Amino acid sequence: MGDYMNATFVQRFFAYIIDILIVVILLNLVTFNTNVDKLNDLNSEITNYLAEYDPTNIEEVEKLMDLQYQYEKESVPVNVISLVIIFGYFVCFQFFNKGQTIGKKLLKIRTVGSDNKKIAFWQIFVRSLFIHQILVNTISLILIAVCPKNIFIQAYSILTLLQSVFIIITMLFVLYRKDKRGLHDLIVNSYVISERG
């Protein structure tokens, strides 16, 4: 991989934290008046319900599923906006900024293709599908539009589990692989390199 040093887990982690904070701030600014009261009410209702929830009681399980499904339905506008912001920031901005987000720029790391070449748009897009939940969130939005409640809840649970497993494996790869590449890096043959001496 040339003379460049691969970015460490710590560099990547803190760059990601900075980027997530930026995305959350952007999302809050853009969705400031988008159905927030209804979502807050539903979230409070779910939280209060969980305080006395009995998972062995079928009626309580059904009510919790109803509340979660209703919450997901009400979240659709915010989730669509979130997808647009995540795509814009992690895919478009990073591509036009030569493989760097603001977090990566501050931590002096960059995403590159093989042989230290500029990363291609498709590589950034595919990496982001997996690591930034674009794929899972897109599938979830489609499922909520076309599936009944029970199928949606089951499919959403499976998708969330698969996404969590992918992220855990990716973190372990970045921590323990010599080349510090995650699954998403291996899929598209990309590297995250350090620009420090």
Q: How do the domains of the chain map onto residue ranges?
A: 5-35+75-194
127-162 confidence digits (pLDDT tens): 999 889 899 999 999 999 999 988 999 999 999 999
Mean model confidence pLDDT for the chain: 89
74-86 confidence digits (pLDDT tens): 888 888 999 999 9
Which pLDDT value is given to residue 41? 82
Find tokens 């999302």 and name the residue: 27
Given a contact cutoff of 8 angstroms between Cβ atoms, the answer to whether 156 and 127 are in contact is no
Residue 111 has pLDDT above 50, yes or no: yes
Residue 31 — pLDDT band, cuts 50, 70, 90?
A: confident
2-24 confidence digits (pLDDT tens): 557 899 999 999 999 999 999 99
Which pLDDT value is given to residue 197? 54
Count CA atoms closer than 13 A to 59's CA, side-chain side: 0
CB-based contacts of 131: which residues, under 8 Å, 6+ apart?
A: 166, 167, 170, 182, 184
**In terms of pLDDT, which residue wins out, 71 or 4?**
71
Please tell me the distance from the alpha carbon of residue 15 to that of residue 73, in angstroms, as a whole number: 32
Q: Is the dihedral of CA 50, 53, 57, 60 positive or negative?
A: negative
172-188 confidence digits (pLDDT tens): 999 999 999 999 999 99
